[in-house]
Amino acid sequence: MKLTIKGHHPASKPRLLRWTQRLLFITGILLLGYVGFILLEARLYQVSAKRSLENEIQAEKERPQSQPKPPVKKGDVLGRMDIPRLGMSVAVLQGTSSRILRLGIGHIAGTPLPGETGNIGIAGHRDTFFRALKDIRKNDEIQLQTASGLSRYEVDWMKVVANDDQDVLAPSTESALTLVTCYPFYFVGPAPKRFVVRAHKN
């Protein structure tokens, strides 16, 4: 004779397990779809941004010297940064909001604009556009194309700093470029430090 505890259903546990597995599977599919959408959006935006930059370069050639440039707004395409040895080419946008850094790399407010004299600060995510910085070397060339021209920089040093270290963005009388991303590169969650690359203009 088979005995069971009152109120206990032997089939309930396998059923719960099946539903849990299905839920985890669906969650995984949705997360993969979201990541895929974000990557596709960024790729399509990069194509559009680089085309916009080409149009701006042409417009700059035709703009009368006396005509002032329009003010820079958050999200504007400011240029394109290339690091030939790393195969990196990415649009530079104005601002460092989470959405802007999903679409490209961002000019840090309070530092000179790309193409200007001084210490230009640019930030990017370590898990997307700035992932390649883990392989950057001293003396690597960094090219910064804006509507007004092409600037070439040579890497001086790389270092890891605290996430609240603002000294690397201090003003400079010389033309410099400072790239900032989170560190460690493969850290899961909010990274505790920052990886900084400094280059001088050639």
- pLDDT tens digits for range 28-42: 766 665 556 566 677
pTM of the model: 0.78
CATH number of the domain at 12-62+74-202, please? 2.40.260.10
Residue 96 to residues 101, 103, 110, 131: CA-CA distances in angstroms?
A: 6, 10, 12, 17
Q: What is the DSSP string of the chain?
A: -----TT--TTHHHHHHHHHHHHHHHHHHHHHHHHHHHHHHHHHHHHHHHHHHHHHHHHHHHS-TTSPPPPP-TT-EEEEEEEGGGTEEEEEEE---HHHHHHSEEEPTTSPPTTSSSEEEEE--TTTTTGGGGG--TT-EEEEEETTEEEEEEEEEEEEEETT--GGG---SS-EEEEEEEESTT-SSS-SEEEEEEEEE-
Q: How confident is the prediction for the chain on average, in pLDDT?
A: 87
Evaluate if residue 148 carries a pLDDT over 50: yes
Domain extent listing, the chain: 12-62+74-202
The reported pLDDT for the residue numbered 57 is: 85
Instruction: Find where tokens 């200007």 sit.
Output: 116
pLDDT in tens, 149-191: 999 999 999 999 999 999 999 999 999 999 999 999 999 888 9
pLDDT in tens, 106-143: 999 999 999 999 999 999 999 999 999 999 999 999 99
